Amino acid sequence: MHVLVLGAGQLARMMSLAGAPLNIQISAYDVGSGNIVHPLTQHVLGNGLENAIEQVDVITAEFEHIPHDVLDVCEASGKFLPSTQAIKAGGDRRIEKALLDDADVRNAKYYVIETREDFDRAIEHVGMPMVLKSALGGYDGKGQWRLKETSQVEDIWTEMAECIAATPNQAIVAEEFVPFNREVSLVGARGKDGSVEVYPLAENVHTNGVLSLSTAIDAPELQEQAKQMFTAVANSLNYVGVLALEFFDVDGTLLVNEIAPRVHNSGHWTQQGAETCQFENHLRAVCGMPLGSTKLVRETSMINILGEDTLPEALLAMNGCHIHWYGKEKRAGRKMGHINVCGDYTGELNRKLCALADVLDEQAFPAVHEFAKQWQA
């Protein structure tokens, strides 16, 4: 079986690693250059999308912000999964919000802004404080604003108007500010036969809008809510593959914040913590194979490595600590890799996170240090 991944980043890389034991060959299409590359070596294998499509059995994607003309070519081949509708929903917050409404899944009150008059209507409809997000292209905290008081309106509108003008078909989605207890996410898979398997919820900590720390948790009531919403969204899309839903936990009630129609950063812990990792399950789904077990086998946390290309050697000597580098050139704030740390029970995992705080730089890994301070208090 040969799978072409749209996108040649770390998620394609990890799909390649997961697919090898199943004899699934992975090629990656670099959307920017048009080159077909090996996802691990980045060696150029060819050029041209149509050429590559002829040589593969399945096409999938590692990110949402794919030009629609590329998606249309892939859809016409009949080989693309999960679907172009799903990818477009992940890449456009207007489509995403409509999808959540159609699936009758709880999400924050919102209003779409294209003009200054729309902004006034949004303030009236949604109220303040509010969060404003670009409909297209915003991620990891980019393309976002917070409106807390009327004195900010004109300055924020100036920035949003520039954002709208800079990108064709751009708009801003205004959402009510949700006072939540914590952020959690659910990663799951839906097979071609409609079967659904979900992983345990992960509790997520963000730093400057970017995921820093993600830990699998045992929360039966929240898990049931999340699975119901996951199933509703996946069924409404006739989805095939791995899908992630990000939630706000508001006093025990979950509210969907975003969906991601792909393998997801908050699911990287599954590489060491689950019976079958998210990357293997995505490939199993799109290739028409039975889904693997999503059972938690070890308590696990994932720590993002941001803007760092070296780590203390002490990590390699730590039992239950696994480093995953992405082979990228160092750049401030860039996702360079991640660390999965495991324990046989919660207390052991917590102690290992504290041990990591002793050797990791506090400025580079603030979430780990904050966790250690709270747990040791």
CATH code at 322?
3.30.470.20
CATH code at 150?
3.30.1490.20
Select from 152, 176, 200 the last residue of a domain.
176
At residue 113, φ and ψ (nearest 5 deg) are: -115, 125
- Identify the pLDDT of residue 276: 98
CA distance 235 to 230: 8
Residue 104 maps to a domain:
no
Tokens of residue 353, six digits: 């996170």
Tokens of residue 33, six digits: 């250059």
Number of domains within the chain: 3
Kindly state whether residues 150 and 276 are assigned to the same domain. Answer: no
Kindly state whether residues 129 and 14 are assigned to the same domain. Answer: no
- Identify the pLDDT of residue 196: 98
Residue 273 maps to a domain:
yes
Q: Map residue 210 onto helix, strand or coil.
A: strand
Tokens of residue 6, six digits: 């749209």
Residue 52 maps to a domain:
yes
CA distance 49 to 123: 44
- Identify the pLDDT of residue 43: 96
CA distance 297 to 16: 23
* DSSP track, 358-372: HHS-TTT-HHHHHHH
Kindly state whether residues 257 and 364 are assigned to the same domain. Answer: yes
Kindly state whether residues 209 and 69 are assigned to the same domain. Answer: no
Kindly state whether residues 219 and 314 are assigned to the same domain. Answer: yes
Tokens of residue 217, six digits: 């948790």
Kindly state whether residues 65 and 162 are assigned to the same domain. Answer: no
Half-sphere exposure of 66 (CA within 13 A, CB side): 31
Q: Is 197 exposed, middle or buried (0-12, 13-18, 19+ CB in 10 A)?
A: buried
- Identify the pLDDT of residue 377: 74
Q: Are 267 and 202 in contact (CB under 8 A)?
A: yes
Q: Are 261 and 95 in contact (CB under 8 A)?
A: no
pLDDT tens string 235-266: 999 999 999 999 999 999 999 999 999 999 99
pLDDT tens string 168-222: 999 999 999 999 999 999 999 999 999 999 999 999 999 988 999 999 999 999 9
At residue 58, φ and ψ (nearest 5 deg) are: -140, 145
**How is residue 266 annotated by DSSP?**
G
Question: Token pair 């603030």 is at which residue?
Answer: 366
Residue 289 maps to a domain:
yes
Q: What are the residues facing 190 on neighbouring strands?
A: 196, 241
Kindly state whether residues 297 and 320 are assigned to the same domain. Answer: yes
Residue 88 maps to a domain:
no
Kindly state whether residues 200 and 148 are assigned to the same domain. Answer: no
Positions of the chain with pLDDT lower than 50, given as ranges: none
Question: Looking at beta carbons, which pairs linking 321-328 to residues 24 or more positions away fall under 8 Å?
Answer: 321/352, 321/356, 322/271, 322/272, 324/14, 324/268, 324/271, 326/9, 326/10, 326/13, 327/13, 327/40, 327/42, 328/10
Residue 101 maps to a domain:
no
Question: Token pair 């495991």 is at which residue?
Answer: 342
Helix axis angle, 278-286 to 10-19, nearest 10°: 80
Select from 118, 151, 176 the last residue of a domain.
176
Q: Supply the range of the domain harboring residue 365.
A: 182-376
Select from 80, 97, 125 the last residue of a domain.
80
- Identify the pLDDT of residue 376: 86
Residue 93 maps to a domain:
no
Kindly state whether residues 339 and 275 are assigned to the same domain. Answer: yes
Question: Distance of CA 202 to CAs 18, 139, 279, 302, Å?
Answer: 21, 19, 16, 10
- Identify the pLDDT of residue 141: 59
Kindly state whether residues 155 and 237 are assigned to the same domain. Answer: no
The secondary element (H helix, E strand) that includes residue 125 is: helix 116-126
Kindly state whether residues 244 and 358 are assigned to the same domain. Answer: yes
CA distance 13 to 349: 27
Question: Any idea how long the chain is?
Answer: 377
Q: Cα 185 vs. chain centroid, distance in angstroms? A: 9
Question: Distance of CA 354 to CAs 6, 91, 173, Å?
Answer: 38, 37, 39
Pick from 151, 152, 115, 156: which is nearest to 132 by CA?
156
CA distance 28 to 43: 10
CB atoms within 10 A of CB 13: 25
Residue 130 maps to a domain:
yes
Kindly state whether residues 193 and 341 are assigned to the same domain. Answer: yes
